[in-house]
Amino acid sequence: MSSQPLRIVVIGGSAAGPKAAAKARRMDEHADITLIQREPDLSMASCGFPYYVGGTFDDRNLLVCTPAGIVRDPGFYGKAKRIKALVRTEAMRIDRRAKTVTYQDLSNEERHTIPYDRLVIATGATPVCPSAPGFELEGVLTLHSMADADALRAVRDEKTATKAVVVGGGLIGFEVCEALRLAGIETTVIEKTPQILPFLDPDLAKLVERHVRAHGPDIIVGNGVAEFLAEDGRLSAVKLDNGTELPCQVAVVAVGVRPNVALAQAAGIEIGPAGGIRVNENMQTSDPDVYAVGDCVECTSLISGQQVRAPYGDLANLQGRVAGQNVIREGSARFPGITQTGICKIFDYTVGFTGLSERQAREAGFADIETATISGLDIPVFMGGKLLISKLVAERESGRILGFQCIGPGDVSKRVATVAMAIRGKLTVEDMVNADLPYAPPYSLALDHVIVSAQVMENKLKGRMQGLSASEVKRRVDSGADCFILDTRSPKEFEETRLGIGETLIPLGALRDRLNELPQDKDREIILFCKISLRGYEGAAILNAHGWRNVKVMEGGIVAWPFAKEK
């Protein structure tokens, strides 16, 4: 044992910083560990903020508690972990030559300097603020800190708003949207880009948009905020780029975050191409005695190899653990990269994703890709099965799985987790079609949704099926393309709901006897579908066997159709 305890300083006390400090303590009982935190709270469960705002739970302390219900305050860190936690304290300067950190006590503005042998930077991220005038008005909020959560919770509890605008159609934006709507506040979501939830491909994003609208909130895409308008010094409306004014008493800005790298940059630590602190797989920065973790760093994509930003709480904890181990035993732990996996609850839907969407895959240089969209239940009908709609992305030649998106009221989490591990293991579609996954009726179909998705993809890769997305079918219809659209459902289903895009109804059971009703030009495009397009696929096999050469299936069926229906 060294006669001089190792001196470790951690800057940042939200998620990654406390995790690094706690892991370092577990690795070395004798290390001198100091945690510097600008905010008054420590180790906040920031992903829980929307649920506190929405009233899922009322005890604020649950956001800063251990699983045993003990508040993680400086006293807890001092007694339970022998970590000196300084709150309301801001790190002002890192002197790498002298190996010191200068910090300021925000309660009295006194400055102090502390030496370190190893330094961990966990300065997180800051909300991206729009340049629109009026952002500073009372009533314009973000949801990034405990203070923000308190302010929005007060809006709910004190009923000071009847109308709200959420600026930003990403994960946080829709979690806030749901929280406000549950509080009885009329809510509108504004998204500057053409679609919400940019990690989804357009068809699935449109399905989520339709679901949100069914629960009351309005959504406006392709329109940004021009100005926050005031009345008596307080927010009264949000003016959009097209001149529309939306009256409201509160606006929540959730257009993303940017890495908080100012302190590191001023110290001469290298910043990467994605704008975060560059780290290696040990979470070391360009200075081997300085580590960085959490939202302030950039990560390596295990799929594309590119540097990306991924400000997620689970990754912050994983990185904190790696850094905390390495500051004690250098090089003993590694964080090789990420697959960019995420999930959120939006009213009765779960929205999950892992890896690359089709758009992201093409942007990352994967030009030769294939996709497969399917719809189905998570468990059998007799067990109360709920709908899942998913899209799998794979590299055509190798069959390597690149990404997966899944939405619906069913058990999305299990399916996304399964594919996330498949991507991390670099599995192929062939590996997945016979995957040995747990099966019993309360938990899965005999062929799990993920396995069926892989089997549909295999059918496409091997030329046994040609598929079209709902958007591709709509483009054909809108352009007046010469295609024959065949609905293979029953007459009863047809009467209950139908697309109204010029389709012809021939039930699958009658198809073989009614082939004379189909186009006799065997090269004319025929597009089949049903509720989920299983019968559409079977119908396509029949037509192929009878000589039709241009037969396609609308993937996902009617339930994956994100556009208006006739009935």
Predicted local distance difference test score (pLDDT) of residue 131: 87
Ramachandran angles phi, psi of 160, nearest 5°: -90, 0
Nearest to 34 by CA among 80, 79, 72, 85: 85
Q: Is the dihedral of CA 36, 41, 44, 49 positive or negative?
A: negative
CB 86 within 8 A of CB 34: yes
Structure tokens at 321: 């653990």
What's the length of the chain? Answer: 567
Pair type for strands 163-167 and 250-253: parallel
Instruction: Give the chain's count of helices (H) and strands (E).
Output: 15, 30
Distance, CA of 148 to CA of 53 (rounded, Å) = 10
Determine the residue type at 204. L
> Mind listing the domains of the chain with CATH numbers?
7-125+258-326 (3.50.50.60), 140-255 (3.50.50.60), 342-461 (3.50.50.60), 467-560 (3.40.250.10)
Residue 26: CA count within 13 A, CB half-sphere? 13
Predicted local distance difference test score (pLDDT) of residue 1: 43
Ramachandran angles phi, psi of 510, nearest 5°: -100, 0
Q: Which residues, given as ranges, of the chain have pLDDT below 70?
A: 1-2
Give the predicted TM-score (pTM) of the model: 0.94
3-state DSSP of 336-360 = CCECCCEEEEECCEEEEEEECCHHH
Using only C-alpha atoms, the chain has a radius of gyration, in whole angstroms, of 27
CB 259 within 8 A of CB 276: yes
Helix, strand, coil fractions of the chain, as percent rounded to 5: 30, 25, 40
Predicted local distance difference test score (pLDDT) of residue 567: 87
CB 263 within 8 A of CB 11: yes
Distance, CA of 287 to CA of 284 (rounded, Å) = 7
Tokens 């910083």 belong to 17
